[in-house]
Amino acid sequence: MDLKSGGEARFLQIHELEELRSHAYKSSSRYKERVKRFHDKRLRDHKDLRIGDLVLLYNSRMRLFPGKLKFRWMGPYTIKEIFPYGAITIEDPNRASFKVNGHRLKLYINGSIDPMEEILELHFPHA
């Protein structure tokens, strides 16, 4: 193989590599867009929180002191004011109020718990 044909072959290889990179980049960006659309479809736009609702506050300090059986939600608190961009002022039963991020709140569902139990009797099989 002479230098001229070797140079042309190398030139074609470089351009082929650039085409492969371009195709991989486009494919990757299409994949990322699909994943983003799928993720965004599954997200709730906002929580339906209103002033006066009872909510639980996520205790972020529990991450520092992990405990399998520790309760990570505190409350209930009452929503006092809702600000734009997700900030919410909540009030505890002692009338102390503070502002938190709305992502740290979830609706408190109170009510009676149905005491009905299902009892399964286990029998040993007869051989």
Omega of the bond prior to 93 within 30 degrees of 0, cis? no
Q: Looking at residue 102, what is its pLDDT?
A: 87
pLDDT in tens, 12-53: 999 999 999 999 999 999 999 999 888 877 766 556 888 999
Could you tell me if 44 and 66 are in contact, meaning their C-beta atoms sit under 8 angstroms apart? no
Among the residues of the chain, which ranges form H helices? 3-42
Label residue 63 by pLDDT band (50, 70, 90): low
Q: Does domain 54-107 have CATH number 1.10.260.40?
A: no
Of 61 and 20, more confident:
20
For the record, the structure tokens of 40 come out as 């965004």
Task: Specify the pTM.
Answer: 0.51
Domains of the chain: which residue ranges?
54-107
